[in-house]
A and B are shown apart, each in its own frame.
Chain A
Amino acid sequence: MSRTRLSRWFIALPMVALALATIYPLLFTANVAMKTRREYILDRFSLTGGLRWENLTTAWNSVGMARYFLNSLIVVTCSVALLLLIGSMAGFALSQLRFRGSSALFLVCLAALFIPFQVIMVPLARIMADVGLIDTYPGLILAYVAQFLPFTVFLMTSYYRAVPAEIIDAARIDGNTVYGVYRRIMLPIGAPALLSVGILNALFCWNDVLISLLMMPSADHRTLMVGVTSLRGQYSDDIPTFAAGVLIAAVPVLLTYLFLQRQIADGVTAGSMKG
């Protein structure tokens, strides 16, 4: 018994080391963001002399981080709202309503799950350019919706499949139309799944750089992640300000993770259990 307990601690040691290696890079960045340039050049590891916010305000004000932040916020909010609405509608119909062609339509959604963005990005950019949506908010939003919709439909369909048919039948007998059932029954019942899928989609959209680069390339349309990549060139000799920009871009995700970690993990594993 004591031998196994000892070996357990032996295993725990590298796991603790790995845990530290997981957190350290971000702590390092946060520390650097608080330093002056001089402090950083003299000693990269030393703790900052104090909580200095100058680098953060510089990054926020001078390189358009505020604008990029707003762009990201607009695009992510609209994309997620549309994804949840369209995804839950389709999920409800595909899981609970009997109609001709439903399984074929589900297959269409499923097949799209296996088409990565890289494979369709060239023709998609051309289609968007043809309809005048390149470099516009609606264009990027539509691209995000198209990218993450198959996943959303798939998860909402599997979630709604577990809803007992009796609940829906009862609501129909009470005089609800199909739309009434969707609005009064399926949306409230689906809330936990919608929360998980919504957060996951928000992360995907917020973190994306490729789709955004392709769909909204011009400077004042940059989303935050594209903005971070442009920081690199501008602040290559001012590491603390660069680190501050990176920190600003990471904060919304950090907060989301702190408060909604369970929902994020649920969304990730839901795909694996049903897949």
Chain B
Amino acid sequence: MPVGSSSSVRPVEAGRTEGTEHDRRAAPRAVRAWDGRRAERLAPYILVAPAVLIIVVLRLWPLALGVNFSFTGDGDRNGAAVGFDNYTDLFDDPLFRTALRNVGLLVLLLPIAVAIPGLLATFIYLRVPGHRVYRSVYFFPAVLSPVIVGAIFNLLLAFDGPLNALLGGVGIGPVDWLGDPDVAIFAVVGVHIWATFGMALVVFLAGFAALDPALMDAARVDGASLPQTIRHVIIPGLSRTIQFVFVTTMIGMLTSMFGLLYIMTSGGPEGSTYLPEYYIWVQQGQMNRPALASAASTALFLIMLVVGLLQISLLRRAGRED
């Protein structure tokens, strides 16, 4: 221990060179200062150590472990290197292909999921009547757990439930919202957007708060219409915010719909509402195929990387054109 050795050396030196009563009493104080400096130098490392250790051991290392894991076998071939077998299994599995198709659907729906909160935030910024209230109301479902939201919509969307009763009243339906393979994924994504648009709305409003009001005034003086104002003032002025919302909304769609799927459809009907995250859970938890699940995890990670980078570069190019 460096601390121990220094305290044993220093007093001896001090005693040899000076040797007066006064200095001998002063020596320990000098030692403490010297130790203190050493401790001070180490202090930043001690302060960051817990965070870095936890992040490296429980986040970064598992990522490497998982990629490595995806090239080994399950069951009988546990631990053996199997090359790309898991990946071929993965893409042969109709359930995973459905999951990928649903990811494609999410990407297509993404502009809507961004435009809704963007437009609403614009209206609130422009002070439509009641603009003080909307934020708190719209943001509210965003704090609820997907499980709670899903449970509530299980009630509302049940075949003999209130929504169909309401639609029946005006002569529509009934629609089997969660039981029809062509409808269920839209129902679940719709609920997800209902539950999360408030989050993006709050982010947009923060972006508006940082927007230069002089620009909006200039647009008003020039007599710009609302679409013109949005096109020429708001979109360029909020480009960073829009970019952030695009990326976080996509990440949200790919990583925080598990709770909804788990309680609303369990991936059904006929596997039509599978998403990669649900597939990973089923393979790991139900099918006991952790290596296949790891391959799906790696695929999900790559999808997110590609989608994220693509979005950023697309939005950047759009930003330059303006």
Contacts and interface: CB of A to CB of B under 8 A. Distances in A.
B161 A242 contact: no
Interface of A: 8-9, 11-12, 15-16, 18-19, 21-23, 25-26, 28-29, 32, 44-45, 86-87, 89-90, 92-94, 97-99, 102, 105, 108-109, 111-112, 114-127, 142-143, 145-146, 149-150, 153, 177-179, 182, 203, 206-210, 213-214, 225, 228-229, 231-232, 239, 242-243, 246, 249-250, 253, 256-257, 261, 264-265, 268-269, 272-273, 275
B221 to A, nearest CB: 14
B144 interface: yes
Given A15-B130, A119-B297, A228 B51 contact: no
A199 to B, nearest CB: 9
Nearest to B260: A209
A16 B126 CA distance: 15
Nearest to B52: A105
Given A25-B153, A257-B143, A268 B199 contact: yes
B48 A105 contact: yes
Nearest to B137: A19
Given A111-B60, A225-B145, 10 more contacts: A19-B133, A89-B47, A99-B41, A116-B255, A121-B281, A127-B65, A207-B146, A213-B262, A229-B151, A272-B244
B53 to A, nearest CB: 9
Contacts of A9: 128-129
Interface in B215-233: none
Interface string B140-177: 11011111100111111000011001000000000000
B186 interface: no
A122 B254 CA distance: 17
A146 B276 CA distance: 22
A179 B45 CA distance: 12
Contact of B251 (A99, A116, A121, A232): A116
Nearest to A150: B55
A125 B39 CA distance: 37
Counting from the closest, the 10 A-B pairs by CB-CB distance are A207-B145, A146-B58, A90-B51, A178-B43, A269-B206, A93-B47, A120-B62, A123-B65, A123-B62, A99-B44
A120 B63 contact: yes
A123 B301 CA distance: 14
A89 B273 CA distance: 42
17 contacts: A25-B153, A90-B50, A93-B43, A102-B44, A105-B48, A112-B59, A116-B300, A118-B281, A119-B298, A122-B284, A123-B294, A149-B55, A207-B143, A209-B147, A210-B277, A269-B206, A272-B207
Contacts of A111: 60
B131 to A, nearest CB: 9
A152 B61 CA distance: 20
Given A118-B277, A122-B280, A265-B139, A143 B147 contact: no
Contact of B276 (A109, A118, A123, A126): A118
Contact of A93 (B48, B152, B285): B48
B162 A45 contact: yes
Nearest to B120: A15
Interface in B287-318: 290, 293-294, 297-298, 300-301, 304, 308
Contact of A232 (B36, B138, B254, B263): B263
